[in-house]
Amino acid sequence: MFDLVMAKYNFWIYIVLMMIGFYAMIAKNNLIKKIVGINIFQTAIILFYISISFKRGATLPILTESDMHGHTTIEIAQYLNPLPHVLMLTAIVVMVATLGVALAIAILIYRKYHTLEEDEILKEAK
């Protein structure tokens, strides 16, 4: 059992990171702490997707001219799938944009209510 857990230690790290981010989103009242929690959660998901696309001993799917003419069969198992990496690059851009917009909204909320505590903002907004 211990060997199984240690063989997949990176997945346990991602789960812990996801739960830290989830806890920050749910339990904290400060808006900045919630935003940081969302960012931690998103980072854990990106790391998870990158790690599941790893294949030991594989290389990039770039064919040279000698590969095309010299070999008739190319084993597909020796190449990495670049799609998860490309999708996660897009997710990183979305994550940074979300962080920027969330912080800008937090600044506007602070200017209007002079606090970032969710309970105080809800009391004052009523």
Is residue 97 a part of any domain in this protein?
Answer: yes
Residues 15-63 pLDDT 10s: 999 999 999 999 999 999 999 999 999 999 999 998 888 777 777 777 6
Residues 54-102 pLDDT 10s: 777 777 777 666 655 555 555 555 777 888 889 999 999 999 999 999 9
User: For position 45, which CATH number holds?
Assistant: 1.10.287.3510
Is residue 37 a part of any domain in this protein?
Answer: yes
Is residue 28 a part of any domain in this protein?
Answer: yes
Is residue 120 a part of any domain in this protein?
Answer: yes
Domain count, the chain: 1
Domain span holding position 107 = 2-54+76-125
Is the pTM for the entire model greater than 0.75?
Answer: yes
What sign results for the dihedral spanned by CA atoms 24, 26, 30, 34? positive
Is residue 59 a part of any domain in this protein?
Answer: no
- Report residue 13 as tokens: 């790290």
Is residue 64 a part of any domain in this protein?
Answer: no
Asked if residue 120 lies in contact with residue 109, where contact means CB atoms within 8 angstroms, the answer is no
